[in-house]
Amino acid sequence: MTVESILDVDNLTTHFFTQDGLVKAVNGVSYRVAKGETIAMVGESGCGKTVSALSILRLVQEPPGKIVSGRVTFEDVDLLKVSNSEMRRVRGAKIAMVFQEPMTSLNPVLTIGRQVSETLELHQHMGRQAALRETIKLLGMVGIPQAERRVKDYPHHFSGGMRQRVMIAMAIACHPRLLIADEPTTALDATIQAQILELIKNLTRELGTSVILITHNLGIVARYAQRVYVMYAGDIVEHGPAQMVYDKPRHPYTLGLLASVPRLDETRKTRLLSIQGQPPDLIYPPPGCAFKPRCSYGTQCRDEEPELVEVAPGHYCSCQLSRNGKLPW
């Protein structure tokens, strides 16, 4: 694994200073993305996966949020240190983002064409006409029929799936090196989900773009990501090659996530497993392993700060139980 990384996130910590106290949304996470690689960030709602992605682009609302420490090295530059105007030249041009909510992520009073053209005008300094021609080409690439007519349409003329295609067209407009897809299919119909993911996969492969795929759906991870990072309560608890994490999950939380994916081939009588309890309060996180209160195996665990340890080549896990190789499951 000596492939050159395009993004190196090191000990990133993002906190929210709220009325009720300090929310440690992202608590010193490190990960890397290689050139052309797709990684997945998996975890429940509120585990910090979106915040960690927004932190890369420095889009965390400040206040109340603040990136407290860490390094985000993208193409040998620490993005947390560059000026705001340099950061704007990175956003959209080198790192692009696709959001979860296609219904609200487009400006309702501007035409689709204007919004996709914006990216091109901002970064490639294209004129209006040239940007519009390129926009039509892009909309064609993301599978919007009759693009030359639909550029004049407004977002409310589009269905959710079509809007997400528009968002993808905006994101790939400047051929970014890295695409962050934040639950790109969560708001869509199950039938559209696969189409959108295939589209992202094909386009990014064509352009050689690396992808961070944020999702809570483990089902899609295996198909689209080479490596997986499992996040829990602001920490990465397990990461490794997708196949290994799938076949041999080392963290009880990953195990729980995998068990709670519904399967069509099970009999109806089998109860769908779910992880007991609620995600921890990030203002007062439990000491030691944050998953311990919900863990079925954690009764004998010591209260020490969990640490990621390599349990197999390239496969890391922070669970005390899996360190000695003997898994209780």
Partner 1 sequence: MAIAAESIRPHRSLWTDAIIRLRRNRFAVAGAVIVFLITISAFLVSIFSPYGYDQQDLDAILQGPSKAHPFGTDVLGCDVLTRLLYGARTSLAVGIFAQFIVLVIGIPIGAFSASASSRVDNLIMRFVDVIYAFPDILFIILIRSVLGGSIYMMFLAIGLVAWVNVARLIRGQVLFQKQRDFVIAARAIGASENYITVKHLIPNSLGPVIVAVTFNIPRAIFAEAALSYIGIGVKPPTPSWGTMIRDGYDVIFAASHLVLFPAVAIAVLMLSFTFLGDGLRDALDPRLRR
Q: Do you know the residue count of the chain?
A: 329
The window from 11-19, 70-78, 153-161, 318-326 that contacts partner 1 (CB under 8 A) reads 153-161
Of the residues 22, 34, 59, 130, which one makes contact with partner 1 according to CB under 8 A: 59
> Whose Cβ is closer to partner 1: residue 40's or residue 97's?
97
Residue 122 within binding range of partner 1, rule CB under 8 A? yes
Strand 65-74 with 77-78, pairing: antiparallel
Total Cβ atoms within 10 A of residue 57:
19
- Distance from C-alpha of 82 to C-alpha of 122, rounded to nearest angstrom: 19
Helix, strand, coil percentages for the chain (3-state, nearest 5): 35, 25, 40
The window from 24-32, 152-160, 206-214, 288-296 that contacts partner 1 (CB under 8 A) reads 152-160
Residue 154 within binding range of partner 1, rule CB under 8 A? yes
Residue 107 Cα distances to 21, 103, 116, 162, 311, angstroms:
34, 10, 11, 15, 47
Write out the two tokens for 124: 């490639």
Of the residues 91, 177, 250, 315, which one makes contact with partner 1 according to CB under 8 A: 91
Of the residues 11, 45, 69, 146, which one makes contact with partner 1 according to CB under 8 A: 146
Find out whether 164 and 196 touch, Cβ atoms under 8 Å: yes
Residue 88 within binding range of partner 1, rule CB under 8 A? yes
Of the residues 76, 129, 145, 264, which one makes contact with partner 1 according to CB under 8 A: 145
The window from 21-29, 41-49, 110-118, 242-250 that contacts partner 1 (CB under 8 A) reads 110-118
Alpha helices in 66-127 (DSSP H): 84-90, 112-124
> Whose Cβ is closer to partner 1: residue 177's or residue 251's?
177
Which residues contribute to the site for partner 1 (CB under 8 A)? 57, 59, 85, 88-93, 96-97, 99, 101, 104-111, 118-119, 122-123, 145-146, 149-150, 152-154, 156-157, 167, 170-171
